[in-house]
Chains A and B, each alone.
Chain A
Amino acid sequence: MKVANGRVPTTKAAYRQFVKERTPGKPILKNAIRAFFVGGAICVIGQLIQMMYAKYLGFDAKSAANPTVATLIFLSAVLTGLGVYDRMGQWAGAGTAVPVTGFANSVASAAIEHRSEGYVLGVGTKMFKVAGPVIVYGVVSAFVVAIIRLLFDRLLQH
């Protein structure tokens, strides 16, 4: 439905339509495929690291998860500091953002950025600028789900 010749879009709704017809869409399929493979690759790497911790460093299969996450966070922070992570992020999108690597990058990049404003009011205050919502809503939803589970258990016991 193109605006006919000579009709200048003067209302916000008409202009919104005018813009929509002329705006390139995000390449959703391409982004999804890239995110799938990169996100998957990061998880595979994580799995290999976990197996190494279990096999060679004396952790059992379950507790090896802790140093694994720490290692992935460390690698993300290093790549962020080297200026490489943001390039990967533009290519991979959700693939690098969704795993714990994305969280690490958001904290590390904010910390690096606000260093010029001092360690307390700069780094300390603004480090969780991007990651804050993850922490807040992660904790809140965990709390809500835990309450629901508690109620369910009680109901089923009776």
Chain B
Amino acid sequence: MGHIGAQTWEFPRKPVIVATATVVGPKEGEGPLRESFDKVYTDLYMGEKSWERAERALLHDAVTICLEHAKINSSDVQMMLAGDLTNQIISSTFTARTFGTPFMGQFGACSVSMQTLGLAALLVDSEFAKNVVAAAVSHSSTAERQFRYPTEYGGQKPPTAQCTVTGAGAALIAHQGTGPRIALATMGKVIDLGVSSPWEMGAAMAPAAVDTLTCHFRDTGYSWNDYDLVATGDLGSVGHRIAIDLLKEHSIAPDERFVDCGMMIYRKDQAEVFSGGSGAGCSAVVSYGYLLRQLSEGRMKRMLIVATGALLSTVTSLQGESIPCIAHAVTIEREGEYQ
């Protein structure tokens, strides 16, 4: 109970994810998980005047729909934890302005979905909040224009590149109610094995995912057999393969239950998918829709979601720095399955 092992939190009261919502853009809405999203926009601008406003609209909709599903008002929410990839996380802060709840902005790059989910569980389990919203959002164009090039620039990307997901995922965590339950969270350390190319984020993040995952297994005494599914956030096909090989070197080779959200969100024949999806919204929209449904619809009993983030900035990559990465893992169980 409480802190176990080196980096893991065990939640004795197992906070409940009473409601979730996922809102995505056109490309995700044409992908294999389209049936799992609560709202799909066909316009990449979401009807707004700028990409930044579009990203806010995604997050705003996700939180609104989540609160509707939970049948509560924002005034009943004691804390909102949200994060994104924008400078100064403006998508999260400007959206929080609308809801008027106590707010703590979070930055974890693409790992922020599980960072916020783990923290939300901590607040609820320790009885410092009754209802907490945990959310993450990303937009392909805000990421492109901030980190890379103008969106209409005709540069050629390599096969190891990834496609930032346009989507927002929000979850409401409470002390009681019906829904999947959060049992454990393993918060990661910053890991940097020297990858410096922003076109190789999967390779950069794989060691962080493996570090958190192996730490989680050591701290809890769990193994692959205790989970029906272990999903990394956005390693992409290249990074995921590297993670599998790293796990083999650790003598804990995974099987087909080890998947990656970035590889699930797009079909290979969709335009410019490259190595797969990425972004703060990637793990959020895949986990809070499709993956949690495997639990609530009785197909799975327990899963581990390991969201991965690359903690670079536009300046660090120009200055020749390598990319430090992080991964946070949360264990989610089907209601009623375990005690």
Tell me the smallest distance from the CB of B5 to a CB of chain A, in Å: 20
Q: Which residues of B contact A108 (CB under 8 A)?
A: 152
On whether A12 and B238 interact (CB within 8 A), knowing A90-B156, A97-B154, A109-B152, the answer reads: no
Could you tell me the distance between the alpha carbons of A108 and B50 in the complex, rounded to whole angstroms? 17
Q: Which of B49, B159, B160, B250 contacts A8 (CB 8 A)?
A: B250
Check A19 against B200 for contact (C-beta < 8 Å): yes
Q: Which of B242, B249, B272 contacts A90 (CB 8 A)?
A: B272
Tell me the smallest distance from the CB of A103 to a CB of chain B, in Å: 11
Identify whether the interface residues of B are mostly helix, strand, loop, or mixed. Answer: loop
Check B251 against A9 for contact (C-beta < 8 Å): no
Tell me the smallest distance from the CB of A5 to a CB of chain B, in Å: 7
Nearest-neighbor residue (CB-CB) of B192 within chain A: A12
Could you tell me the distance between the alpha carbons of A49 and B282 in the complex, rounded to whole angstroms? 46
Interface centre among B149, B156, B195, B272 (most CB of A within 10 A): B156
Could you tell me the distance between the alpha carbons of A110 and B154 in the complex, rounded to whole angstroms? 11
Could you tell me the distance between the alpha carbons of A61 and B195 in the complex, rounded to whole angstroms? 52
Check B153 against A105 for contact (C-beta < 8 Å): yes
Check A7 against B154 for contact (C-beta < 8 Å): no
Check A130 against B149 for contact (C-beta < 8 Å): yes
**CB-contacts of A95-118 with B (<8 A):** 96-97, 102, 105-106, 108-110, 112-114, 116
Q: Which of A3, A22, A92 contacts B238 (CB 8 A)?
A: A22
Could you tell me the distance between the alpha carbons of A109 and B52 in the complex, rounded to whole angstroms? 17
Q: Which of B50, B154, B195, B271 contacts A96 (CB 8 A)?
A: B154
Q: Which residues of A contact B155 (CB under 8 A)?
A: 86, 89, 97
Check A129 against B156 for contact (C-beta < 8 Å): no
Could you tell me the distance between the alpha carbons of A114 and B159 in the complex, rounded to whole angstroms? 28
On whether A89 and B156 interact (CB within 8 A), knowing A8-B249, A22-B245, A113-B150, the answer reads: yes
On whether A19 and B154 interact (CB within 8 A), knowing A9-B249, A90-B272, the answer reads: no
Interface centre among B49, B149, B271, B272 (most CB of A within 10 A): B149
The yes or no answer to B32 lying at the interface (CB within 8 A) is no
**CB-contacts of A46-104 with B (<8 A):** 80-81, 83, 85-90, 92-94, 96-97, 102
Q: Which residues of A contact B229 (CB under 8 A)?
A: none
Could you tell me the distance between the alpha carbons of A24 and B158 in the complex, rounded to whole angstroms? 9
Check B152 against A85 for contact (C-beta < 8 Å): yes
Could you tell me the distance between the alpha carbons of A123 and B207 in the complex, rounded to whole angstroms? 40
> Interface digits, B187-223 against A, CB 8 Å rule (1 contact, 0 not)?
0000001110000100100010000000000000000
Tell me the smallest distance from the CB of B317 to a CB of chain A, in Å: 15
On whether A112 and B150 interact (CB within 8 A), knowing A6-B251, A7-B249, A16-B194, the answer reads: yes
Q: Which of A18, A26, A88 contacts B159 (CB 8 A)?
A: A26
Check A83 against B160 for contact (C-beta < 8 Å): no
**CB-contacts of A1-59 with B (<8 A):** 3, 5-9, 12-13, 15-16, 18-19, 22-24, 26-27, 31
Identify whether the interface residues of A are mostly helix, strand, loop, or mixed. Answer: helix
Check B249 against A89 for contact (C-beta < 8 Å): no
Could you tell me the distance between the alpha carbons of A83 and B151 in the complex, rounded to whole angstroms? 9
Could you tell me the distance between the alpha carbons of A132 and B54 in the complex, rounded to whole angstroms? 29
Check B156 against A87 for contact (C-beta < 8 Å): no
The yes or no answer to B246 lying at the interface (CB within 8 A) is yes
Could you tell me the distance between the alpha carbons of A114 and B149 in the complex, rounded to whole angstroms? 11
Check A12 against B154 for contact (C-beta < 8 Å): no
- Extra contacts, 19 of them, besides A86-B154, A112-B150 (Cβ < 8 A), are A5-B248, A6-B251, A8-B246, A12-B194, A15-B194, A16-B194, A22-B203, A80-B154, A86-B152, A89-B156, A90-B272, A92-B156, A105-B154, A109-B152, A109-B153, A114-B150, A116-B52, A130-B149, A130-B150
A-B contact pairs, 18 of them (CB 8 A): A3-B249, A6-B251, A8-B250, A12-B322, A15-B207, A19-B203, A23-B203, A24-B238, A26-B158, A26-B159, A93-B156, A105-B154, A106-B153, A108-B152, A109-B149, A109-B151, A109-B152, A112-B150
- Residues of A at the B interface (CB closer than 8 Å) are 3, 5-9, 12-13, 15-16, 18-19, 22-24, 26-27, 31, 80-81, 83, 85-90, 92-94, 96-97, 102, 105-106, 108-110, 112-114, 116, 129-130
